[in-house]
Amino acid sequence: MGFEGIGASVRRKEDVRFLSGKGNYTDDIDRPGQLYAYIKRADRPHAKIGGIDTAAASAAPGVVRVFTGADMAAENIGGIPCGWQLHNQDGSPMAEPPHPALAVGKVRHVGDPVAVVIAATKQQAKDAAELLAIDYTDLPAVANLKDAVAAGAAEVHDGVAGNICYDWAIGDKAVVDGVFAGAKHVVKLDLVNNRLIPNAMEPRVAIGDYDTSSGDFTLYTTSQNPHVIRLLMGAFVLHIPENKLRVVAPDVGGGFGSKIYHYAEEAIVTWAAGKVRRPVKWTAERSESFMSDAHGRDHVSTAEMALDAEGHFLGLRIVTLANMGAYLSTFAPAVPTYLYATLLAGVYKTPVIYCNVKAVFTNTVPVDAYRGAGRPEATYLLERLIDVIAHDTGLDKIELRRKNFIPADAFPYQTPVALEYDSGDYQTTLKVGLKNAGWDGFEARRTEARSRGKLRGIGISTYVEACGIAPSAVVGSLGARAGLYEVAEIRVHPTGSVTVFTGTHSHGQGHETTLAQLVVSQLGVPFDQVEVVHGDTAKIPFGMGTYGSRSLAVGGSAMVKAMDKVIAKGKKIAAHLMEAAVEDIEFKDNVFTVAGTDKSKTLTDISLAAYVPHNYPIEELEPGLDETAFYDPKNFTFPGGCHIAEVEIDPETGVVEMVNFTAVDDVGRVINPMIVEGQVQGGVAQGIGQALMENCNYDQSGQLLSGSFMDYTMPRANDIPNMSVATENTMCTHNPLGSKGCGEVGAIGSPPAVINAVVDALKDYGVRHLDMPATGAKLWSIIQAATPRMAAE
């Protein structure tokens, strides 16, 4: 057995069960006496509901009950709450229209839940739902941002004028306008950040269970944060006190943000289980995932940079429209503001920045955080803008970045958009990135590709993001209705093995392994004697879950604090047992020693004494060795780095082949390099997907066109290249581990690198910019349109 502490690529504990079919995902759970729910959803984007005739469905074979929005409203069931309140520029609060779990009066997007049929089998519930007669009167719908803000547009919610949820801004517009007025160059770019559908491979599932003897409810759900769901659903929707509600999120098959939010189906099955006094299970079909999981991105922006003659950035001015969809999902308002506009300084010294964001309701599925959340949008905008600046001014794109970088000796660095970066070294990640990607040899590769009739291009992005979410007081002042600390309990058992109870949640990240590695390093307990428990509100203390690359930086820090408490208490016990002063006790590698002597006790000796306190300082010290710590981060963490993409385009078809991808990221202290590489590779694949393939499409009327894997192009093995992934780390200065987080960097840094490469490949075709995704059809049209002109020249 080799070293299994911090820094080792330990193979994962969870793999054996996943590899042998023994995972325990929510859909693998069946409760005794369980019934099945089928949710009838709106098949149209916007309509009045005149009435719902449930008689035939209720009488169908196997059906136990049918519920509609009216049934829930009659019991005063609350709407699905939003977890973040933004304010308009004038100080007034954002529009926060009601979001009933089952539609009341109107449906507002294709997929909006209208009724639920509960039956003995899944098929019976589904068959009966066909018999529901819903009297719809169609209303005009707005399916995209531009239509929604047009004069005279149909309104998604009565009383929300112009479909504007909020009109928010950061920065001093007059100052920025002044800088633009005096600038040598102004470069402007209009761009779209395409709408995505997260598509974790496990569809969402929810099982509501009601214990008729205790009156307790249990919800089994595919969630990234069971306590958040318990709080939102218990307190705001179903009015079940938290002591009567347990939420279990067992093995979860990927999340990427989409399983953070409290969804209507969770409330529906829990409430229905109480009504029918039996467990009720709902499993999403993939088609339902497409029209009910929160979508991601969907911005339309105009960006302008003011520069001096040498290419120094003087000021940045941005206007963004951000799609909220039909209702506010849990964290939606924060994504295009505090997770986006505050990142617009990027890795650059731009002294003044102004950004105005209008969040807009449309008749589409709610939009919320998807891997990176706001930060990919900021990075894409900046890194495309810089390449366009290079295009328009003739300045070198690498030099332009270099000369505007925040230097490594400038940290802590206060940006003009609220954040204070604690550490980073952008010149180094750039230098290593250029070297690993063979940037200098690229022109030879381009020439060689041309000899094969291919257009080869290279693109770069240098980025920073904010994660390790988040200092509670800061987010509270920005409108969060939650604290974002994390918690850990370290239970040292009498025989010295350890169980970690963490408030974070693993849905692919490998916490059972990495968090155990922390215990190996801090307490010297062997890896196979450490168990990590997460995902069950009946077992773990109140934690906030996993998103925003927070598990290690925040949750791991809570563990370190709790282990420090274990060590401190252990020293007192050791001092008593070895008749020494506490100050003289040292702890290292599982052993307490009296300094300067050969007297020692193992952690097991100490834990046994703590639970069998016969010879124990019982007057001063409680028995037991079980410590809990809450950790509230002092700041965000700031991973960053350099991503370089190399593509080849076939001019005959327009099809892009990703030939190389190089990532050099700064993620702070790495606990398990193998897992970090995997996280980056997965994130990059999603970024490549966004840049080249994925696009959520609604037609003008609001019908979802990309509603299955046949229409929504997911990256497959053949679409993704082998990747060169490396780290060049500087330590986070304000948490005990120095870790920054690595879950999102791949999806944040990669899309602009890919599009910059595509544009570079097409440089002879007069392309200044193109919007994602760079599909073969789109590029073929561009090439075709430019070819006659080129031939004529």
Residue ranges in contact with other proteins by CB under 8 A = 11-12, 14-23, 25, 27-28, 123, 199-203, 251-254, 256, 285-287, 507-510, 674-675, 677-679, 681-686, 708-710, 714-718, 720, 722-723, 746
Distance in angstroms (rounded) separating the CA atoms of residues 406 and 383: 15
Which phi and psi angles does 470 have, rounded to 5°? -170, 160
- Whichever of 201 and 717 has its CB closer to ligand FES, that residue is 201
Write out the H or E segment, with its range, that includes residue 440.
none
| DSSP state, residue 367 | B
Q: Determine how many CB atoms are found less than 10 A away from the CB of residue 158.
A: 8
- Whichever of 256 and 361 has its CB closer to ligand FES, that residue is 256
Q: Which does 23 bind (CB under 5 to 8 A by kind): other proteins, ligand FES, none?
A: other proteins
Taking a C-beta distance cutoff of 8 angstroms, is the pair 110, 287 a contact? no
Taking a C-beta distance cutoff of 8 angstroms, is the pair 530, 519 a contact? yes
Write out the H or E segment, with its range, that includes residue 668.
none
Q: Which does 382 bind (CB under 5 to 8 A by kind): ligand FES, other proteins, none?
A: none
Q: Which does 252 bind (CB under 5 to 8 A by kind): other proteins, ligand FES, none?
A: other proteins
- Whichever of 40 and 571 has its CB closer to other proteins, that residue is 40
Taking a C-beta distance cutoff of 8 angstroms, is the pair 240, 234 a contact? yes
Please list, in sequence order, all residues whose beta carbon lies within 8 angstroms of the beta carbon of residue 208, skipping any fewer than 6 positions away: 217, 218, 219, 266, 268, 269, 270, 271, 272, 273, 274, 279, 280, 281
User: Which positions from 70 to 109 touch ligand FES by CB under 6 A, shown as an x/- string?
Assistant: ----------------------------------------
**Residues contacting ligand FES: total by CB under 6 A:** 3
Span 41-60, contacts to ligand FES by CB under 6 A: none
Question: Of the candidates 263, 208, 257, which has an alpha carbon nearest to the alpha carbon of residue 237?
Answer: 263
Residue indicated by tokens 């709408």? 195
Question: Of the candidates 390, 381, 429, which has an alpha carbon nearest to the alpha carbon of residue 406?
Answer: 429
- Whichever of 74 and 201 has its CB closer to ligand FES, that residue is 201
- Whichever of 350 and 549 has its CB closer to ligand FES, that residue is 549
- Whichever of 256 and 421 has its CB closer to ligand FES, that residue is 256
Instruction: Provide the H-helix boundaries in 152-263.
Output: 173-181, 226-231
Which phi and psi angles does 677 have, rounded to 5°? -60, -45
Q: Which does 792 bind (CB under 5 to 8 A by kind): ligand FES, other proteins, none?
A: none
- Whichever of 165 and 676 has its CB closer to other proteins, that residue is 676
Report if residue 254 touches ligand FES, rule: CB under 6 A. yes
Report if residue 508 touches ligand FES, rule: CB under 6 A. yes
Residue indicated by tokens 């060590």? 567
Q: Which does 450 bind (CB under 5 to 8 A by kind): ligand FES, other proteins, none?
A: none
- Whichever of 199 and 423 has its CB closer to ligand FES, that residue is 199
Q: Which does 750 bind (CB under 5 to 8 A by kind): ligand FES, other proteins, none?
A: none
Please list, in sequence order, all residues whose beta carbon lies within 8 angstroms of the beta carbon of residue 416, skipping any fewer than 6 positions away: 171, 345, 350, 351, 352, 353
- As measured in angstroms, the least distance from the Cβ of 702 to other proteins is 22
Q: Which does 395 bind (CB under 5 to 8 A by kind): ligand FES, other proteins, none?
A: none
Residue 168: alpha-carbon gap to chain centroid: 22
User: Which positions from 190 to 219 touch ligand FES by CB under 6 A, shown as an x/- string?
Assistant: -----------x------------------
Q: Which does 542 bind (CB under 5 to 8 A by kind): ligand FES, other proteins, none?
A: none
- Whichever of 19 and 181 has its CB closer to ligand FES, that residue is 19
- Whichever of 607 and 672 has its CB closer to other proteins, that residue is 672
DSSP 311-344: --EEEEEEEEEEEEESS--TTGGGTTTTTTGGGT
Interstrand relation of 185-193 and 106-107 (parallel, antiparallel or unpaired): unpaired
- As measured in angstroms, the least distance from the Cβ of 465 to other proteins is 18
Question: Of the candidates 440, 23, 437, 39, which has an alpha carbon nearest to the alpha carbon of residue 206?
Answer: 39
Which phi and psi angles does 776 have, rounded to 5°? -55, -45
Q: Which does 203 bind (CB under 5 to 8 A by kind): ligand FES, other proteins, none?
A: other proteins
- As measured in angstroms, the least distance from the Cβ of 201 to ligand FES is 4
Report if residue 717 touches ligand FES, rule: CB under 6 A. no
Write out the residues near ligand FES by the rule CB under 6 A: 201, 254, 508
